[in-house]
Structures are given as C-alpha cells and as structure tokens.
Amino acid sequence: MRKLTEQQRRDWAINGYIQLEGVFDAEEVDFFNRELDLLRAKPGYEPQPDILPRGHYGWVPQSASQDPEAFMDRRDILPYHDAFIQLMDRPEVFDLVVDIMGPHLLLSMSQAIVRASTTEFPGYTHTDGGEALREIRVTETSRPLAMKALYLLSDVDGPDCGNFTVFPGSHMRPFPTDGDGVAEVSPKTPGAVPLIGKAGDCFLFSHSLWHGPSPNHSGHGRKTLLYNYCQMFLRSYDFETISDVRDRCTPRQRRLLGDLGYDFRPGSYFYVPQDQEAVITQAQAS
Ligand SMILES: O=C(O)CCC(=O)C(=O)O
C-alpha cells in the first residue's frame, strides 16, 4: 500500500490536514457531479433544522430544491451507486488513510454537500464528531481517533467560494466556545485559511482540526463528497448496525462497514478480528 511522503507526514503532524491533487480526472468529476444532482429527487437523510437538533439527520422524500446549484446535505450516500461504495477504499486515498489511522478502522460516515452561492450563509467553523469528541485531541505522534477525506467536485479558485477553510495546526488546541458551547471562531477569524483547490482534489483532515465552509459568493454551488473514518472502538455516524449495502461490497469494504465476520460478542470492535490487518491491507475483488 502507498504511504505518506515525508512532506505529507510533516503536513499532517504540523497542520492537521493534507491536500491531494487530481485524485479524480475530469470524467470522474462529471460523473460524481451528475450523481449528486440525481440524489435530490430520491429519498434520504438530510438535516431538518426546524425539527431535529443540530447534527441530526431525518429521512426526507427528496431534497428541498431540485436545482443542482441549491443547498443539499445528504448523508449515507453508499446505497445510491456502486461508485460511492468503491470510493470508501479507493487506493490513492485509502492507502494514506490507513497509513494515518492504522488498520483498525471503520468507515463511519459518507456525505454529499452542495454549498449554494448566496449572501445569506456566513459559513461556520467546528471540529467533527459532536460535543464529546470536540474535547479530545491527540498528539503529533498518536494516530487520530477519526479523520475525513473531502473530495472537491467544483473548482474553488478564490476566497468566498465556499472554500473548505481551516486553522492550520489547530488540531492540537482546544476549540474555543462560549458558555453555551457556541463556536467563538469563524471562517473570518484571523488565522483561518480558505483552501484553494481544483475539482478532483481531496483534502485529508483530522477530526480535531478547526474547519468548515466559507461563504460562497462564486455564483455557482460548491459540491463535495465526504468520507469519515474512525477507529473501530468508536462507532458509526450513519448506521446503527451494519449498512444494508454490505451485499454489494468486497470483504474489505464489508469490514470497513463493521461486519466482523461473526456475530457481536463482548470485546468485539475493541479487540479486532485476527485477520483485520490482512483484510484491510489487501483489496480482494469480492
Ligand atoms: O465544506 C463543507 O461544506 C463542510 C465540510 C465540513 O466542515 C465537514 O465535513 O465537517
């Protein structure tokens, strides 16, 4: 399997993120953009801010708007196309995820986001994983608890284009909140870096990095795919047990979805199956 270069290893340790250029070619970018547009008409999990608390997703019959440039935040995208399943262990990215996380990992979330071009959205900054994970940081020499791969499906070539915006090095610092747990930093706080990238690039970043979307005034929607990986002893965001797509998966993909190959028993997921490393490091066909 591929490994991080020395420069990437330093970037990960010091900045808390890495940019991989040109992971998708132009044809793949078009393909995934089309698939994203198709999701809108289908049922699925989306935020329901008037009904559900922040961070929770409810089942909706379709997205609020069928305009491909409008806001969409769709969770658990694996069932919609085999290409979304294949992306969970695409070697150019997954090999590096394993180099960073080690082999005892789960795919805990998949997501498609469109950030509409609008003057209404100021962007926001957060760490991943909710209130408890926000309190936990690990050292430069430790594996992370969780990390994401964010695939850009739109060019982001200037500020205020819905940029993925980060505070380099912040993964080592407590996230600043007021007494009610509300973030005291935003994409406009000094130190924030709005990242530039091309459709097809991928950002790998730690759950504890202060990050989030900038405003988008570009005139077009900024589209991304996100895959979250966590250590096995954490749990999945997207499913209670194991995703229904398991029958469409390779053994490695099934393992990434939490299928251990035997029924749950106390100790499962903390002490991993004996073949865990072999399954994760070998991309068997079926
Ligand atoms: O770029 C976005 O729209 C949100 C990405 C993000 O902040 C996240 O996945 O945690």
180-219 confidence digits (pLDDT tens): 889 999 999 999 999 999 999 999 999 999 999 999 999 9
The reply to whether 1 falls in a domain is no
The reply to whether 108 falls in a domain is yes
The CA 119 to ligand 1 mean position distance, Å, reads 18
Under 8 Å between Cβ of 283 and 253: no
Question: Which atom belonging to ligand 1 lies closest to the Cα atom of 128?
Answer: 10
The reply to whether 174 falls in a domain is yes
Long-range CB pairs of 10-15 (<8 Å, 24+ gap) are 12/100, 12/204, 12/206, 13/140, 14/140, 14/168, 14/169, 15/166, 15/168, 15/169
Under 8 Å between Cβ of 126 and 211: yes
Q: Is the pLDDT of residue 240 over 90?
A: no
The reply to whether 81 falls in a domain is yes
The CA 229 to ligand 1 mean position distance, Å, reads 14
Mean pLDDT of the residues in the chain: 95
Nearest Cα residue to atom 5 of ligand 1: 212
pLDDT band of 242, cuts 50, 70, 90: confident
pLDDT band of 284, cuts 50, 70, 90: low
For position 184, what pLDDT does the model report?
95
The CA 148 to ligand 1 mean position distance, Å, reads 9
Instruction: Identify the three-state secondary structure at position 103.
Output: coil
The reply to whether 28 falls in a domain is yes
Nearest Cα residue to atom 2 of ligand 1: 213
Q: Which domain holds residue 129?
A: 6-281
The encoded tokens of residue 154 equal 């739109």
Q: Is the pLDDT of residue 285 over 60?
A: no
The CA 209 to ligand 1 mean position distance, Å, reads 11
Looking at residue 248, its amino acid is R
The CA 202 to ligand 1 mean position distance, Å, reads 13
The encoded tokens of residue 221 equal 């929607």
Looking at residue 13, its amino acid is A
Pocket of ligand 1 (CB under 6 A): 113, 115, 128, 148, 164, 211-213, 224, 226
Residue 202's contacts (CB-CB under 8 Å, 6 or more residues apart) are 19, 20, 23, 93, 149, 150, 151, 152
Question: Which atom belonging to ligand 1 lies closest to the Cα atom of 150?
Answer: 9
Instruction: Identify the three-state secondary structure at position 85.
Output: helix
Greatest CA span in the chain, whole angstroms?
A: 53
Number of domains in the chain: 1
Q: How far is residue 213's CA from residue 154's CA, in Å, rounded to a whole number? A: 14
The reply to whether 180 falls in a domain is yes
Residue 180's contacts (CB-CB under 8 Å, 6 or more residues apart) are none
Question: Which atom belonging to ligand 1 lies closest to the Cα atom of 211?
Answer: 7
For position 282, what pLDDT does the model report?
87
CB atoms within 10 A of CB 138: 14
Q: How far is CA 98 from CA 36, 42, 250, in A?
A: 27, 33, 17
Question: Which atom belonging to ligand 1 lies closest to the Cα atom of 226?
Answer: 9
The reply to whether 286 falls in a domain is no
The pLDDT > 90 percentage for the chain reads 88
Under 8 Å between Cβ of 161 and 214: yes
* CATH assignment at residue 237: 2.60.120.620
The pLDDT > 70 percentage for the chain reads 99
pLDDT tens figures, 24-59: 999 999 999 999 999 999 999 999 999 999 899 999
Spell out where the chain has E strands.
17-20, 44-47, 57-60, 72-75, 105-115, 146-152, 164-166, 193-194, 202-206, 211-213, 222-231
Select from 114, 134, 164 the residue to mutate for testing ligand 1; criterion: most ligand atoms less than 8 Å from CB.
164
Token pair 């600043």 is at which residue? 176
Q: How far is residue 229's CA from residue 101's CA, in Å, rounded to a whole number? A: 8
Mean pLDDT of 227-232: 97
The reply to whether 271 falls in a domain is yes
